[in-house]
Amino acid sequence: MKRAFTAACAATILALPVTAETIAPGDVTYEDGAVSTSLTGVPGNPEEGAIVMGTKSIGNCVSCHEIGALADVPWQGNIGPALDGVADRWSEAEIRGIVANAKMTYDGSMMPSFYKVSDFIRPGIGFTTKPLAPEDVEPLLTAQQIEDVVAFLVTLKEE
The CATH number covering residue 35 comes to: 1.10.760.10
Confidence tier at 9 by pLDDT (50, 70, 90)? very low
**Is the Cβ–Cβ distance between 120 and 132 less than 8 Å?**
no
pLDDT tens track for 82-122: 999 999 999 999 999 999 999 999 999 999 999 999 887 65
Q: Is residue 78 part of a domain?
A: yes
- pLDDT value at residue 137: 85
- pLDDT value at residue 132: 67
- pLDDT value at residue 119: 80
Q: Is residue 123 part of a domain?
A: yes
pTM for the structure as a whole: 0.82
34 φ, ψ to 5°? -90, 150
What is the spatial distance between Cα 39 and Cα 25, in angstroms, rounded to a whole number?
9
Cβ neighbours of 115 (radius 10 Å) = 24
- pLDDT value at residue 7: 46
Domain total of the chain: 1
Q: Is residue 35 part of a domain?
A: yes
Q: Which amino acid is at 7?
A: A
Confidence tier at 48 by pLDDT (50, 70, 90)? very high
In terms of residue numbers, what domain contains 45? 21-153
Q: Is residue 8 part of a domain?
A: no
What is the spatial distance between Cα 155 and Cα 153, in angstroms, rounded to a whole number?
5
Model confidence at 128: pLDDT above 70: no
3-state secondary structure of 31: strand
What is the spatial distance between Cα 29 and Cα 37, in angstroms, rounded to a whole number?
8
Q: Which of 11-15, 50-54, 108-112 has the highest mean pLDDT?
A: 50-54
Q: Is residue 9 part of a domain?
A: no
